[in-house]
Amino acid sequence: MKLAKTPVVAVLAVFLTLSAITGHTTENKVAVASAHPLASHAALEMIGRGGNAFDAAVAIGAVLAVVEPAGSGLGGGGFWLLHRASDGFETMLDGRETAPLAAHQDMYLDAEGRVIPGLSIDGPLSAGIPGVPAALVHLAEHYGKLPLSASLQPAIRYARDGFIIGERYRRLLSFRLPQIQSSPAAAAIFLDNGRVPDPGWTLRQPDLAKTLQRLADFGAAGFYAGETAEKLLKSVKAAGGIWSQQDLDNYRVVEREPVKGTYRGIRITGAALPSAGGIGLVQALNILTEYDLTAIDAVTRKHLVTEALRRVYHDRALYLGDPDFIDVPVSRLINPDYAAGLRSTIRKDRSLPSVMLSGDIPEQAGGDNTTHFSVMDGEGNRVAATLSVNYPFGSGFVAEGTGVILNDEMDDFDSRPGAVNVYGLIGGLPNAIAPGKRMLSSMSPTFLEDDERIAVLGTPGGSRIISMVLLGILDFADGNGPDSWVSVPRYHHQYIPDAVQYEPGGLSSEELQGLEKLGHRLRETSYRYGDMQALQWHKREGRFSAASDPRGEGLAVIRND
Ligand code: DON
């Protein structure tokens, strides 16, 4: 067993528990990388109990809902990309939130048609109908070997008994403090006497433990009906939200065919709509495939990647939305000939201002949240899952007596054509709000495969998710491993704002000068962003490697025997 980037305490914890669980057999082979050591640990526990990667994914997702409440949870949604080893079947579980039936296109606008600040981000009016509980049940029932009651055990334990918070928790809580303070149930759980808790504080969530137990006992009905549903609806309605029992009854997980593409001998399996991830990645790689990025100089490489991203995010705004509500020309967008047309507009000696693609639009800040995990077992079953409540601690609102923090994923819709969301993303009618519709996402759980290797990867990071995963894929194509993919310095372009955003250290001074000369505007972000979790299977050697982003507090663990 090898552990990557981990505090000593976490290493010890994993060693001790593993030796207590089981001896080493090939069935115990596993690799996992997640944003929290306790979640990675839960995966090992499931494998130790005879579960597969899908059981491990249920346990990881549920534990993250407890130990990383800022990032994801039962009140949120997500996408789970699955590969089943027995028959090679691949699918994406779409557990994205849906707009409530009482939602309408102009619900966040004032009488003059202007977006009302905060309304789609704070409080229950910003919350879509959660998909995570239904998806956990679906994953356990259709793909797992263990009962849901077993795979939810670690999460119930950590909710009931508590765990010691990390620095990330404190930082994100400080960022959302006013919203948390305005929800009495949230404040009672996450704050210590109304304040951000000191380091070393233990977070206990007894109501969440009971909500998880009802899910374990009754399946989806344990959340979308009965006591949990009653409590959710009562609180949401009392605080001005618009959820109804019909919304909860209607919620369905959808299995969607992943988006597939190839890049220089690498097969890519990416997220389907309503995520823009798979389409965006395949489109970018189709544009870039004619360049030898490994051989090319660093400035030209970054210029070309930027120009590809500019065109990808432009198409995202123009065409993408929930495929159950609008027609999206997916096969055209991922067609290599279409990419060749886009490539023909790229000059190596000059950037193309985004205004040439369309009008100029105001800019907004990015976020730092959501969660990704990657897990693969010794049989070859694998899961890449990106889960979210959107903004840190979602809407900041907890429904009384449930322990469930509600998402603010409604902000991922386009409240008004041409308006930008909290990640500065622009869009239009394809992603307008409609009752029951799923909001467009950037979450990009991804599989890669060539003759030698299989990779599972993904990251949080709002609008920057697609560019981060793209940089990871290009690094895989350069022949590097997970340690490198999760660490590569990051830069990003999303069409609007028309600037290359880069994390501190993301571009060298030579690259900055070179890109500026080509006409790019450059903007350094105030912090290093992303929290990529990745693993790799080496086919010939029959062994795993894995890594957790050095920017986060996660843990990668492999067992190769
Ligand atoms: O689905 C999406 O694209 C966003 N709700 C994800 C949000 C996210 O990654 C926040 N992290 N910075």
Ligand 1 close to Cβ of residue 388 (< 6 A): yes
**Was 475 annotated as part of a binding site?**
no
Tell me the CA–centroid distance for residue 412 and ligand 1, in Å. Answer: 8
Confidence (pLDDT) at 432: 93
**Was 462 annotated as part of a binding site?**
yes
Confidence (pLDDT) at 124: 98
DSSP 219: T
Task: List the Cα angle 281/261/471 in 5-degree steps.
Answer: 35
pTM: 0.94
* Burial (CB count within 10 angstroms: exposed 0-12, middle 13-18, buried 19+), residue 230: middle
Locate the ligand 1 atom nearest the alpha carbon of residue 529 and give its number: 12
Closest CA to 102 of 220, 252, 248, 320: 248
**Was 388 annotated as part of a binding site?**
yes
Q: Which tokens sit at 87?
A: 């028959």
Ligand 1 close to Cβ of residue 441 (< 6 A): yes
Please tell me the distance from the alpha carbon of residue 83 to that of residue 53, in angstroms, as a whole number: 10
Locate the ligand 1 atom nearest the alpha carbon of residue 96 and give its number: 1
The per-residue pLDDT for range 195-239, each reduced to its tens digit, is 999 999 999 999 999 999 999 999 999 999 999 999 999 999 999
Q: Which tokens sit at 88?
A: 């090679």
Q: Which tokens sit at 270?
A: 């990416």
DSSP state letters, 424-458: --B--GGGB--TTPBPPB----EEEE-SSEEEEE-
Which residue's alpha carbon is nearest to atom 5 within ligand 1?
390
Which residue's alpha carbon is nearest to atom 2 within ligand 1?
441
**Was 412 annotated as part of a binding site?**
yes
**Was 236 annotated as part of a binding site?**
no
Q: Are 275 and 258 in contact (CB under 8 A)?
A: no
Q: How confident is the model at residue 26 (pLDDT cuts 50, 70, 90)?
A: low
Looking at residue 337, which CATH number applies to its domain? 3.60.20.40
Q: How confident is the model at residue 8 (pLDDT cuts 50, 70, 90)?
A: very low
Mutate to test the pocket of ligand 1, among 175, 423, 464 (most ligand atoms within 8 A of CB): 423
In a domain, 388, yes or no: yes
Ligand 1 close to Cβ of residue 459 (< 6 A): no
Expressed as residue numbers, the domain containing 172 is 52-343+355-480+530-560
In a domain, 129, yes or no: yes
- Coil, helix or strand at residue 161: helix
Mutate to test the pocket of ligand 1, among 64, 120, 388 (most ligand atoms within 8 A of CB): 388
The residues, any chain, with a CB within 8 Å of residue 242's CB and separated by 6 or more, are: 100, 102, 103, 125, 236
DSSP β-ladder status, 163-164 and 266-270:
unpaired
Handedness of CA 372, 44, 557, 264 (dihedral sign): negative
In a domain, 235, yes or no: yes
Other Cβ atoms within 10 Å of 499 Cβ, number: 16
Which residue's alpha carbon is nearest to atom 9 within ligand 1?
462
Between 410 and 19, the higher pLDDT residue = 410
Handedness of CA 117, 420, 459, 56 (dihedral sign): positive
DSSP 534: E
Residue 372: enclosing H or E segment and its boundaries?
strand 371-377
Arithmetic mean of pLDDT, 55-72: 98
Ligand 1 close to Cβ of residue 367 (< 6 A): yes
Number of domains present in the structure of the chain: 1
- 167 φψ region: left (φ > 0), alpha (ψ -120 to 50), beta (else): alpha
Ligand 1 close to Cβ of residue 354 (< 6 A): no
Locus of tokens 């090679």: 88
In a domain, 290, yes or no: yes
pLDDT above 80 for 358: no
**Was 441 annotated as part of a binding site?**
yes
Arithmetic mean of pLDDT, 427-444: 93
C-alpha Rg value of the chain to the nearest Å:
22
CB burial readout 413-427, b (16+ within 10 A) else e: bbbbeebbbbbbbbb
Inter-CA distances, 171 with 6, 32, 186, 323, 369, Å: 19, 25, 16, 36, 11
In a domain, 521, yes or no: no
Arithmetic mean of pLDDT, 152-167: 98
In a domain, 350, yes or no: no
Mutate to test the pocket of ligand 1, among 175, 395, 442, 459 (most ligand atoms within 8 A of CB): 442
Tell me the CA–centroid distance for residue 312 and ligand 1, in Å. Answer: 17
Locus of tokens 């730092």: 368
In a domain, 7, yes or no: no
The residues that are catalytic are 370
Residue 21 dihedral angles phi and psi, to the nearest 5°:
-75, -50
CA 243 to chain centre: 24
**Which range (128-137, 144-153, 393-402, 408-417) has the least confidence?**
408-417
Which residue's alpha carbon is nearest to atom 6 within ligand 1?
462
Tell me the CA–centroid distance for residue 359 and ligand 1, in Å. Answer: 25
Please tell me the distance from the alpha carbon of residue 226 to that of residue 208, in angstroms, as a whole number: 15
Ligand 1 close to Cβ of residue 95 (< 6 A): no
Q: Which tokens sit at 291?
A: 């360049």
Beta bridge partners of 532: none
The per-residue pLDDT for range 104-153, each reduced to its tens digit, is 999 999 999 899 999 999 999 999 999 999 999 999 999 999 999 999 99
Ligand 1 close to Cβ of residue 280 (< 6 A): no
DSSP 28: G
Tell me the CA–centroid distance for residue 369 and ligand 1, in Å. Answer: 7
Tell me the CA–centroid distance for residue 392 and ligand 1, in Å. Answer: 9
Listed as own residue / partner, the contacts of 285-292 with beta carbons closer than 8 Å and 24 or more positions apart are 285/261, 285/470, 285/473, 286/261, 286/334, 286/335, 286/336, 286/338, 286/339, 286/340, 287/311, 287/312, 287/339, 287/342, 287/343, 287/346, 288/263, 288/474, 289/263, 289/264, 289/336, 289/339, 290/340, 290/343
In a domain, 511, yes or no: no
Ligand 1 close to Cβ of residue 412 (< 6 A): yes
The residues, any chain, with a CB within 8 Å of residue 189's CB and separated by 6 or more, are: 203, 205, 207, 208, 398, 403
CA 315 to chain centre: 21
**Was 256 annotated as part of a binding site?**
no
Between 195 and 8, the higher pLDDT residue = 195
Q: How confident is the model at residue 355 (pLDDT cuts 50, 70, 90)?
A: confident
